[in-house]
Chain A
């Protein structure tokens, strides 16, 4: 026990990173915190607007919640395949890494396509950034703002995963690189869980 404590102190003593991780992973973690706060800013603003709003539409009358649940299921599943990819990378099984990274990217693309369909559907029904047929303008504004920003993050994640896949095929990908891409992907999924809960369900 005392020995373990001594080791902890040692890691902070300079010469090594205290977290048993390279600076890349540290940087990604800190980036996730700051990017998470960006979504926190949007979500807090949404909460503020919703408290102010006179008539917030009933979500189930606007969205098809089973459809949104299916989107959520796709995205969460892609987190599972990502975890498998990271595990395979750490075990050095390259073909498995490639397969699971591509599968994860496919999940992301499916999610984006479903979101594009949802947007099209709602825009045809009359939803715009500045007005919508269901209630206060803020409803449509925050819908496009939140899902748009999140969708952009998913898109960046998909592109990153494709780069990882190419590097993996060329035998350039490192286990740490796959893991860092995975951290970002899990973060994007986690943000969706918050948006799903706070915007669609609550």
Chain B
């Protein structure tokens, strides 16, 4: 309504004035979806470094709980006096590691970053539907990340109630130091995140509906676009519940309400005046968001993997339409299973039955999806380039991580496994590993399109093996720690007799974690080196079929020259005869290569 008429709808005109824009408007306050995507990606990668440092601290503590790290005492005099971490600081570190990795690494790099970069290019649009809103969503996202980092420096330190922020720990100011100002800052940062994520998801949905190029029917969109489309819808449906919960938690914390605080609560030997609330209400609201949220993150990783696989097997993806229906089915199911995070909350056995049943039903579309990915490999000529290695890694982690989900989704088994390292291992394989490998696969695959240079293959392969092997091994081992009864928020195995024999395992896991973090240095070096010195990339270095590969690397402002492309076929036309090779881009007319779908 307040946008200038030049941005109107179906075919926004090519903005010829762009080359005259100054540096600031082109690269900093840019409304170009590609720049915004790259901004999101870089922000997310910086946050990932913060998250990885926190993970290192966690593993130092869990591997060697009594060791005095003198040099860390100098860096963190309050959190690690004398070189040994305080339990309160440990909780804050765990909380911030989870929050940063889920909301500020995967969401920013994979969902918002690659979503922004890829969706308009792959559907044949010049930009997102509402470019200004898109820019606004990035700047609010950046603010949200900075506010989250700032919470380390407020009185009492960062929030310590876990990324799930369960009350009363998160609601009572006097519970732990992290429950003071740090928790409020955490909530404010999450509120900003939700505002930003809502704006960007609205943009994705409107863009996919309205701005597809002529001929780009829904059934010709790549699985990448489908996955972003569905994950945006899921985000829009799920996040409001957390917004409502966050507002109520802020009121509980600052204005004395009792939404989440029951009567008769005693904290630090003091009877709290609150009455009548219920901490379970928070759990319901949080998990109503929290469960769909993991699909918001994992679906794009699966979609991206499904676009990398055909490129490096040189044959179409297996069961394209079934894959789409699986994504939709998982999206629907994810909205009605939140109670499986609450089996031990004293819920009625009938509710438990229901939540077990629908949770295990998710296995059906997800298994079909995974098996289709495997079937896409069969009979193909596997070209083991770096993006392909990461896509294969996605399949491996998705299969093994998903298997652990079968145990956790079952209420009976969950009673034993709840809050143990079995859960930690499971969700790290899934929303830690599948999404991280998908993110790296996407970076190696689309880096040439983003920056016009290839990444180093040799360093890429080193990075893959130093990521996949330690990652899989250490989180696989954590499942067994869980079976031995180690709980996820325990601060030291030395505090419990029955856990003392897990010392060896904890040390090995910690060492593997160090290898994993060190392996990421290879990636950072590769990223920076390739940006400056990498081989110049052709328009279509992987001989792929989607529309972004039909334009220059990096694509010009407005993406598609004078006229939008005409789309004649689906996204997976591999194994055909054409002058350019064994593939046909989506814009190749049917007279040149027959259309198969």
**Chain A residues with a Cβ under 8 A of chain B:** 12-19, 22-24, 26-27, 30-31, 33-35, 37-38, 40-42, 45, 48-49, 52-54, 129-130, 136-138, 141, 145, 149, 163-164, 167, 174, 176-177, 180-181
Contact = CB atoms under 8 A, between A and B. Distances in A.
Among B9, B220, B243, residue most surrounded by chain A Cβ atoms (within 10 Å)? B9
Given A26-B209, A163-B2, A38 B202 contact: no
A31 B215 CA distance: 27
A13 B124 CA distance: 13
A23 B211 contact: yes
Interface stretch (B250-258, B365-373, B534-542, B549-557): B250-258
Contacts of B251: 129, 141, 145
A167 B3 CA distance: 12
B215 A13 contact: yes
A177 B206 contact: no
A23 B210 contact: yes
B241 interface: yes
Interface string B167-205: 000000000000000000000000000000010001101
B1 A181 contact: yes
Interface in B189-248: 198, 202-203, 205-207, 209-218, 220, 236-237, 239-241, 243-245, 247-248
Interface string B1-40: 1110000111000000000000000000000000000000
Among A13, A23, A167, residue most surrounded by chain B Cβ atoms (within 10 Å)? A23
A138 B10 contact: no
Contacts of B284: 48
29 contacts: A12-B218, A13-B214, A13-B217, A14-B123, A14-B212, A14-B213, A14-B217, A14-B567, A15-B215, A17-B10, A22-B8, A23-B210, A24-B9, A27-B130, A31-B202, A34-B198, A34-B240, A35-B240, A37-B240, A40-B240, A41-B244, A41-B285, A45-B285, A52-B278, A53-B276, A130-B256, A137-B274, A141-B257, A177-B1
Contact of B210 (A22, A52, A145): A22
Nearest to A16: B10
A38 B242 CA distance: 9
Contacts of A45: 244-245, 248, 259, 281, 285
B351 interface: no
A14 B255 CA distance: 51
Interface of B: 1-3, 8-10, 123-124, 129-130, 198, 202-203, 205-207, 209-218, 220, 236-237, 239-241, 243-245, 247-248, 251, 255-259, 274-278, 281, 284-285, 288, 567
**Majority secondary structure of chain A interface residues (helix, strand, loop or mixed):** helix
B347 to A, nearest CB: 13
A41 B210 contact: no
B367 to A, nearest CB: 29
B220 A49 contact: no
A14 B220 contact: yes
Contacts of A30: 202, 205-206, 236
B237 A34 contact: yes
B276 A23 contact: no
A137 B214 contact: no
B1 A129 contact: no
A144 B80 CA distance: 44
Contacts of B213: 14-15
B244 A14 contact: no
A23 B9 contact: yes
B165 to A, nearest CB: 16
A145 B247 contact: yes
A53 B288 CA distance: 23
B257 A129 contact: yes
A38 B206 contact: no
Contacts of B281: 45, 48-49
Contacts of A18: 209
Given A15-B214, A53-B276, A27 B220 contact: no
B243 A41 contact: yes
Among B130, B210, B248, B284, residue most surrounded by chain A Cβ atoms (within 10 Å)? B210
B226 to A, nearest CB: 14
